[in-house]
Amino acid sequence: MNRPGGVILAGGLARRMGGGDKGALVLGGRSLLDRVIDRLGPQVGPMMLNANGDAARFAEYGLPVRADPLPGYVGPLAGVLAGLDWAAETGQTHIVTAAADTPFFPADMVVRLARAAYLAGTPIALAATQEDGRLTRHPTFGLWPVALRADLRAALEGGLRKVVLWTDAHGAASAAFNDGAFFNINTPEDLTRARDLAAAEDAG
Residue 16 has pLDDT above 70, yes or no: no
E strands, 16-113, are 26-27, 30-31, 47-50, 65-66, 94-99
pLDDT in tens, 39-88: 999 999 999 999 998 999 999 999 999 999 998 888 999 999 999 999 99
pLDDT in tens, 154-175: 999 999 999 999 999 999 999 9
Q: How confident is the model at residue 120 (pLDDT cuts 50, 70, 90)?
A: very high
| CATH of segment(s) 5-202 | 3.90.550.10
Look at residue 2 in the predicted model and tell me its pLDDT: 83
Residues 6 or more apart whose CB falls under 8 angstroms from that of 97 comprise 7, 8, 9, 76, 79, 80, 83, 140, 141, 142, 144
Do 94 and 144 form a contact (C-beta atoms < 8 A)?
A: yes
Question: What residue spans define the domains of the chain?
Answer: 5-202
pLDDT in tens, 175-202: 999 888 999 998 889 999 989 888 888 8
> What's the pTM value of the predicted model, to 2 decimals?
0.92
Q: How confident is the model at residue 12 (pLDDT cuts 50, 70, 90)?
A: low
Q: How confident is the model at residue 151 (pLDDT cuts 50, 70, 90)?
A: very high
Q: How confident is the model at residue 20 (pLDDT cuts 50, 70, 90)?
A: low
